[in-house]
Structure 1
Amino acid sequence: MIKRFTLLAILFLTKLIAFAQSDVKYRVILFGDAGEMNAAQMQDLKNAAKQIIPKKTTVVYLGDNIYPTGMGLPGSLEEEDTKKILRSQFEPMRSMGATVYFIPGNHDWDKSGPKGLAKIKAQDDFLKAQGDPLLKLIPDNGCPDPVAIKLTDKLTIIAYDSEWWLFPYNKANAASECNCNTKDEVLVRMEELLEQNKDKVILLASHHPFQSYGPHGGYFNLRNHLFPLTSLNKNLYIPMPVLGSVYPFLRSTLLSPEDLNHPAYKDMIRSVNGVFGDYPNVTYVAGHEHGLQLIKGKQLQIVSGSGSKTSPNKQGKTSLFHAMEQGYVVADQLMNNDMRYEYYVYSDTSVKKVYSYIKKFETIPSKVRNRDKPITADSIFVKIKPEYDSVGRFHRYVFGENYRKEYAERTKVPVLHVSKMMGGLKATQRGGGNQSRSLRLEDKNGKEYVLRSVEKFPEVLLPEGLRNTFAKDIIKDNMSAQHPFSALVVPELAKAANIPHSNPIIGWVSPDDGLGEFESAFANTLCLFEEREPVGESDSS
């Protein structure tokens, strides 16, 4: 009788689980800061692996994948131990068939230390060495390039490396082909990915949250004041009243770039929010804080950072939920495209669900583009950059006369209608480069062309701290030393020397459907147009 009852109970639970999963279109399991092996971490991972729905689950580790200072470099004493830490996270999930992505965190970047880039590349190399296409570090190669992962027709993860934004040491990655090398290029790529996915639910995944009521957000509890050493080791309960309050005070005044109130962190929040902040179906997901939080400010913020550690957090003004136990979050897209966020914690040797929240999917009405009318004329008179010629005598004496008159002269140029050129061109992607803004175009046969802005933006070459100072004005003014039409001379010189060359045209870009999502950036600007690869393999954009 008991056996029969047990069997019926098992069958009932199995059907209950199957019913609960039947309304799930896709599942994303979110773990943050899981880079230390301990009993609670292992139990959480084991339980999460059981929740994997075959062919419908992706697991995302939200940074700080390896404590304390990231991947051991080849030949180091910690190399093998750090490999074990990573394996403890991906092996249970991959064995159940889930795709696994790791996002870098500050501890993966050598705890924001000088070996950060080398350690991120070592973590990437180790994951690639597994030979598993469903196991990746994103972004890879130590590059900052935002990555879009399409999960369903209405769900996309856009992941980026937020620690790259804050990292204080050298992060130039000449050995890898990064599509983005500056913050401006990262933001441009984000805009492109948003444009491609704006009718979907977007999980904007990074290590650093943009809202928090934990220590990185400035909150410290009584334990932090009385037992400050527990911030270093959770077992160091050595009472240090009064003196213990020095740490929270210093933390809130001598700010770390890893804290939300630091200027660099604020700049990241402002910049990224400038891209995604107005879209209702975007949910920010992050770790960093060693707790679980759900915060509903202007955007919904999930904090899932207690994969292997805990720290205090509080119920804030815009909090929907908070917990200080180790745990993780399950994000389910339901069949009607709503998102269900469920929070699980490790407690009393088991894992249990403690909170659930439904975020309704909002259909965004198609907006009529507020665009300028296409130019019907074949040519147009323009002044390229008259402000170069608006400076006084002293400025000219110090910085030179240059080609200021040429930039200010009213000049007749052809109008470029990209959809009518070369049998019809369509924009495919923004190009690389630093000082010029470029756009790749493609004809019906796949041949590529490129538009490059005549106006230069040399401020990207300045250290970031100088980009909003007088140095920006000086370096931009120096661009007047380059003749605006100098590129047109090159083909004639190359022809005389019997050197293969492109055939550039400089013209005014008309608003055009062929520009697609890039129309607002390139329409009504003066650009150089030419073949991208006129003479075989090269990389001219």
Structure 2
Amino acid sequence: MKRNNYFCFLIILTVLASCTSSAPKYRKGEPTSNFGYPENKQVEKTFYLLGDGGYSPEGGTSKALIVFKEFIKQRDTRGDYAIFLGDNIYPVGMPPKDDPLREQSEYRLDAQLDAVENYNGKVIYIPGNHDWYSERIDGLERQEEYLIEQYGDSLDWSPSTGCGLEIKEISDDIQMIIIDSQWYLEDWDKSPTINDNCDQIKTREALFTEIESELKKSQNKTTIIALHHPIFSNGIHGGQYNFNRHLYPSQKKIPVPVLGSLAMLIRTTGGISIQDLQNERYKSLSDRLRTMVKGRERVVFVSGHEHTLQYIDHDGIKQIISGSGSKENYVALGTDGLFAFSLQGFAVYDVFKDGSSWVSYYRNKDNKPALMYQKEVFPSPKPYKLGDYPDSFPQKKTASIYPDEDVEVSGIYKTLWGKRYRKLYGTDVEYEVADLDTLYGGLQPLLEGGGHQTVSIRVKDSLDREYNIRRIRKDAVQFLQSVAYKSTPIEEQFKNTSAENLISDFYTSAHPFAFLAIPTLSEAIGLAHTNPKIFYLPKQDNLGAMNENHGDDVYMIVERPEEHWLDKESFGSPNHDIVSTAGMFERIRKDEKYKIDEPSYVKARIFDMLVGDWDRHQDQWRWAENEDEDGNRTFTPIPRDRDQVFSNFDGAFFGTLRSLIGLANQFAVYDKKLNNVEWFNIAAIGLDRSILQNTGKETWLEQARFIQENITDKVIEDAFSKLPPETNGEITEGIIENLKGRRDNIVDIAERYYDYYAKLAIVTGTDKDDFIDVTRMPEGKTKVTIYRNKKGKRADIVSDFVYDKQYTKDIWVYALDDDDIITVDGEGDNLIYVRVIGGQNNDIYRIRNKKKLKIYDYKSKPNTIEEGADARFRFTDQYDLNIYDKDKKVFSSTSIMPGIGYNPDDGLKLGFKALYTINDFKRNPYTSQHELKAGFYFATDGFDLSYKARFANIIGDYNLQLGAHFTSPNFSRNFFGYGNETINLDDEFSLDYNRVKISRVGGDVGLVNETPFGSYFSYKASFETIEIDNTRGRFIDQFTPENPDGFFDRKYFAGLDALYRYESYDDVLNPTRGMQFDLNLGGKLNTADTDRKYGYFKSYLEFYNSLIPSRKLVLKSHVQTQINIGTDYEFYQAAVLGGGSGLRGYRLQRFTGKSAFATGGDIRYSFNQFKTSFLPFQIGVFGGYDIGRVWQKDDGSHIWHDSYGGGIWINSAEAVNGTLHVFNGDEGWRFSFGFGFRF
């Protein structure tokens, strides 16, 4: 009978699973016909979008490709683009020619090429994840080679194989950004040649930097971001499944009810597949991209990956999905979908001459293309309605940068936050008025721009020379968005809050006009410089739509160093080019004819310290390129963006912060000495080490003396006479006095900085064949010389310098690409530690002195060791060890996270967690990290301390972890006896009755691996000693243990422990979808009585699932268990349940046994985020229920304990979180709360 019931149940499930509709789905209100497509508009470009087309049946063609071919055959496709959006070959990309799947793979590509056989436009192929599956880059190269061989040069494989990004300028009004999204998701350690031929993008962060730059440049264009993986989806990769996947969770059609549902729950909430949007790595890509495009006009994402057709409008961000080129799958509308279709088809994106654009979706109907849906993606840009602006302007205008109310603060505020230059920001100053029609002969606005905090307009004059017009008043929210919240749009959250006001006040640390003094100071020492001027810029017709964000404010106008300024004397009148820092490095790597004028750079850097300019990252420089008569080219620096000079971070807050957190020391008081040169230069030190490869201390001292001699008192006074006269007075006089004092100390400052930065030297070869000679010398000296290898002979010298152990402790030598010959020889003493990083291709090693030397090169690529095979070689494909990353910062940082909480057992709790992180050569993701945690518990006057240290890559991807913990003699835990029905007598004897004072001291050592995909592995051995106190009058004094001998004596335990944890949340502080799974196995041994030992098994599983489309109502569910194996354990090693461990309505450690089980859930509701005058906050409420019990030998209890209750939680700014609980069990109500910070 039971068997028949099972089969009936299975039949019902199968019938339900087969009832899924394949009809197109439309959001309510969306038309299903007569879409209003503008037939009479002129199309500028058409983009035919078809993804996942690589699964045509043997001997046939997919339904989508049949109608795709039919559709484009009917159209004039000249100048159009057909984009194949990845997964071009199933199942595993293009295998080698001798592989059994090669013929099938070629056929599936041929089916796609046949569809565009008579196509007259451009064809672009983008790789997808399946295209990477055949030996990764090798398979991509095979696929690219085959496609171009079959189709010809009018086919583009994009981006270049093994690279992440390509930019295509389609027309003056259309830009395409193509991303290989699988490149981002890949484990780069498994692809040793990845990024080998990518000039500038060698890291994922560099990808985002370049995309952000391109989005700024193309802000007035329609921008298409094409990538295989969508950033939004309502298909299976977005966590949407139809009912039959609960029955058939795998590709094999074997029904697995219940287990199938569990499998689907794990996949939809856990993001365990890297191909799903919930996965940590994939999510990081989608979050960054959506944050970048949020608020930008006319940016659309086009993708495949999902075997569906979708159109999504997610808070104004448009996503076109066309991934059903040969496969089909389930799709829903979700909360943001306007259209969805689960069968095969393709999409067409039309961009019109007027800037508007439409998308159309087609399916196969009787082998003819059938239109299902059309939607206007972007309307044509509306002409900006100009205000009633005057035709002419007065020559002068008096204004202040901040209104009076923003600069009038109390004495307490000044003491806390400092005086800074706040007064000057509120000072009325008379400015010249800038009329763009006449200024500099007439200026044409090009685009809006800005850095981390600046608000600017790029303009050009009649000679095409470009300028930046930058508002003096900075944008505080823009700063937060670009620095602290790169993955979360925050503009609406932080506008008009105290956080914005505090950061705006933070910027008053920079003198608003001091940059006007820089040209005079620079000219005195022959340093290239820009020539900023200050104006009042009124709103005006010439600004057009930019009047929305600009005008009626104080602005600085300055040249933008680029190729049209070659005749500019203050730029050194370069005769060849002006390039960015990235462009300069690209040329340096490629050819030995390029050099850097290192003494000029040293002069510029000492000048930075002289004028207190702490924000000197690589974008703050341009490079004048000069060619001599022999064709050699030299780059001379052009410093720019001097808006942080003479910064003054006074006040108690920053004074305290500098004492607590090292990174805060870059925010210094401008004084005569510059005490902390290390932190002041943190933004520039990486660039310094990358550039200065042939410069020693004498050059620094020589340049410092030159500055000291040439920046005279008169020069300084002349320079500050260029500031508005209204700023004359005590503040400016104070700067002048400090500048003179700093000039007098500049030799000492330069020497101290050299002594710090020179501790690490970074030397780079070229991307050609080089000789690299490392020669050991007496008295702690090491000479590194790099020559070009021309026909086996040492030719042009690339780098030649002798390093002294007195100053330099480490040298990193990067050979870079091509076949290099690396020799280490010579004899010496007190040697400098040298790391040689071979790089790509077959390097030859001749190691004759192996002392204080370590060599890194690729494990999977050929290398030749001619001499010194017993030297310390580490052959590894670990990407970050082998790659030269000029942006790699070597530094340490500190963060402190306080917390406060309360529960009846501990009373009020105060604690903190301090992290000290060191980033050096070897990282995973840091070189080492030290964590100190402490807590004090007022109810018992006890405290605990714990310490962890982690050291990177001790064995493969595993870090070494050392740990220690200590509890004070008063530290307490609870014990009520063994069993599921123990008695709680706190009403009669108080809470102290069941408290046990327990003193613990212990340590552990082990290996841990935290992957970027959410998994954490830990294996450790531990040793600890524990002693409990026999406190008279408490339960422990009356408890009779099974083995009373030595019960209260100090005991010593050795243990082994293994832990696997997986975590994935869409939002760590307020999950609406997520999962945690813990599996913990181990055992402990009493070292004084080795017969007493036990093992344990612990597991925990937690899910978050949203219940309604708005994702405000969420079900949190969890289950946990602990099982002890054996009986020789102490009560404090037993399985427990209680508050904090499964039963929130009970006291801590309320029930103790051999095993324990608990489950429960919460219904959580999140209210809309709201702004206060201080910070944005989000509040939620929850109600929950717990149930569980323990088991103990000879305990016949059948009772299950439960508790119910609820509470509220609060989050702010992704940094502050708190929770308040009120839960009730059989023993009454229990109140608790916790509040902490995340930095």
Q: Which residue matches 1:81?
A: 104
The partner residue of 2:170 within 129, 151, 159 is 151
1:250 aligns with 2:258: no
2:262 match: secondary structure: helix
* Aligned residues of 2:310 and 2:340 also touching (Cα < 8 A): yes
The partner residue of 2:154 within 121, 130, 134 is 134
Q: Which residue matches 2:356?
A: 338
Q: Which residue matches 1:490?
A: 694
Letter in 2 for 1:490: N
* Aligned residues of 1:226 and 1:239 also touching (Cα < 8 A): yes
1:77: how far off?
2.1
1:28: how far off?
0.3
Change (3 A) 1:451 1:92: farther
The partner residue of 2:121 within 76, 84, 98 is 98
Change (3 A) 1:198 1:254: closer
Change (3 A) 1:80 1:50: same
Change (3 A) 1:322 1:124: same
* Cα-to-partner distance string for 1:380-412 (whole Å, 9 max, x where unaligned): 69xxxxxxxxxxxxxxxxxxxxxxxxxxxxxx9
Q: Which residue matches 2:294?
A: 277
1:122: how far off?
1.9
1:196: how far off?
2.7
* Aligned residues of 1:210 and 1:301 also touching (Cα < 8 A): yes
1:26: how far off?
1.3
Change (3 A) 1:430 1:276: farther
1:322: how far off?
0.6
1:207 aligns with 2:228: yes
Q: What is the CA–CA distance in structure 2 between the aligned matches of 1:158 and 1:27, rounded to whole Å?
A: 16
1:163: how far off?
0.7
Q: Which residue matches 1:390?
A: none
The partner residue of 1:188 within 183, 205, 209 is 209
Change (3 A) 1:486 1:117: closer
Q: Pairwise CA RMSD of aligned residues?
A: 4.2
Moved more, 76-85 or 122-131: 122-131
The partner residue of 1:320 within 305, 317, 338 is 338
1:450: how far off?
6.3
Letter in 2 for 1:212: S
1:377 aligns with 2:490: no
* Aligned residues of 2:626 and 2:635 also touching (Cα < 8 A): no
Change (3 A) 1:183 1:330: same
What percent identity do the matched residue pairs reach?
25
* Cα-to-partner distance string for 1:53-95 (whole Å, 9 max, x where unaligned): 2323100011111111111124322223222222221343252
* Aligned residues of 1:440 and 1:449 also touching (Cα < 8 A): no
Letter in 1 for 2:217: Q
* Cα-to-partner distance string for 1:8-34 (whole Å, 9 max, x where unaligned): xxxxxxxxxxx9587322110000111
Change (3 A) 1:175 1:325: closer
Structure 2 counterparts to residues 271-310 of structure 1, below 5 A: 271-298=288-315, 299-310=317-328
Moved more, 85-94 or 416-425: 416-425
Q: Which residue matches 1:405?
A: none
Structure 2 counterparts to residues 332-371 of structure 1, below 5 A: 332-358=350-376, 359-362=378-381, 366-367=447-448, 368-369=456-457, 370-371=470-471
* Aligned residues of 1:62 and 1:104 also touching (Cα < 8 A): yes
1:452: how far off?
9.9
1:415: how far off?
5.7
Change (3 A) 1:380 1:250: farther
1:378: how far off?
4.0
Letter in 1 for 2:202: N
Aligned length: 431
Moved more, 126-135 or 200-209: 126-135
Letter in 1 for 2:694: V
Letter in 2 for 1:98: G
Q: Which residue matches 1:173?
A: 193
Letter in 1 for 2:145: D
TM-score (norm 1): 0.69
1:294: how far off?
0.5
Greater relative contact order structure (CA < 8 Å, 6+ sep)? 1
* Aligned residues of 1:330 and 1:343 also touching (Cα < 8 A): yes
Q: What is the CA–CA distance in structure 2 between the aligned matches of 1:483 and 1:166, rounded to whole Å?
A: 28
Q: What is the CA–CA distance in structure 1 between the aligned matches of 2:171 and 2:298, rounded to whole Å?
A: 14
Letter in 2 for 1:168: D
Q: Which residue matches 1:311?
A: 329
Q: What is the CA–CA distance in structure 2 between the aligned matches of 1:357 and 1:227, rounded to whole Å?
A: 35
Q: Which residue matches 2:1033?
A: none
Letter in 1 for 2:326: S
Q: What is the CA–CA distance in structure 1 between the aligned matches of 2:691 and 2:161, rounded to whole Å?
A: 35
Letter in 2 for 1:117: I
1:330 match: secondary structure: strand
1:449 match: secondary structure: strand
Change (3 A) 1:488 1:227: closer
Structure 2 counterparts to residues 402-441 of structure 1, below 5 A: 414=527, 416-417=529-530, 419=568, 420-423=570-573, 426-427=578-579, 430-431=582-583, 432=585, 437=618, 441=623
TM-score (norm 2): 0.32
Q: Which residue matches 2:424?
A: none
Q: Which residue matches 2:743?
A: none
1:448: how far off?
6.9
2:348 match: secondary structure: strand
Moved more, 485-494 or 129-138: 485-494
Q: Which residue matches 1:124?
A: 144
2:52 match: secondary structure: coil
Q: What is the CA–CA distance in structure 1 between the aligned matches of 2:67 and 2:101, rounded to whole Å?
A: 24
Q: What is the CA–CA distance in structure 1 between the aligned matches of 2:158 and 2:114, rounded to whole Å?
A: 18
Q: What is the CA–CA distance in structure 1 between the aligned matches of 2:634 and 2:528, rounded to whole Å?
A: 20
Q: Which residue matches 2:42?
A: 23
Structure 2 counterparts to residues 221-260 of structure 1, below 5 A: 221-229=242-250, 232=251, 236=253, 238-252=254-268, 253=270, 255-260=272-277
Structure 1 gaps, min length 5? 1-18, 382-411, 454-469, 496-504, 507-525, 527-532
Change (3 A) 1:336 1:117: same
1:216 aligns with 2:206: no
Q: Which residue matches 2:1013?
A: none
Q: What is the CA–CA distance in structure 2 between the aligned matches of 1:80 and 1:251, rounded to whole Å?
A: 34
Letter in 2 for 1:124: E
* Aligned residues of 2:267 and 2:273 also touching (Cα < 8 A): yes
Q: What is the CA–CA distance in structure 1 between the aligned matches of 2:380 and 2:123, rounded to whole Å?
A: 25
* Cα-to-partner distance string for 1:195-216 (whole Å, 9 max, x where unaligned): 3322110111001111111111
* Aligned residues of 1:64 and 1:288 also touching (Cα < 8 A): yes
Q: What is the CA–CA distance in structure 1 between the aligned matches of 2:147 and 2:274, rounded to whole Å?
A: 28
* Aligned residues of 1:32 and 1:62 also touching (Cα < 8 A): yes
1:537: how far off?
11
Structure 2 gaps, min length 5? 1-37, 385-446, 449-455, 458-469, 473-512, 531-560, 562-567, 590-616, 640-660, 665-677, 700-705, 708-752, 754-765, 767-794, 799-815, 818-885, 887-1239
Q: What is the CA–CA distance in structure 2 between the aligned matches of 1:211 and 1:444, rounded to whole Å?
A: 48
Change (3 A) 1:126 1:320: same
1:263 aligns with 2:376: no
* Aligned residues of 1:164 and 1:171 also touching (Cα < 8 A): no
Moved more, 299-308 or 124-133: 124-133
Q: What is the CA–CA distance in structure 2 between the aligned matches of 1:315 and 1:444, rounded to whole Å?
A: 59
Q: What is the CA–CA distance in structure 1 between the aligned matches of 2:320 and 2:697, rounded to whole Å?
A: 59
Letter in 1 for 2:48: I
Letter in 2 for 1:430: A
Change (3 A) 1:98 1:129: same
* Cα-to-partner distance string for 1:123-182 (whole Å, 9 max, x where unaligned): 2232343472220210012111x2122223212221111111111352342684212111
1:312 match: secondary structure: coil
1:428: how far off?
5.6
1:30 match: secondary structure: strand
Bigger proportion of residues as strand: 2
Q: Which residue matches 1:449?
A: 635
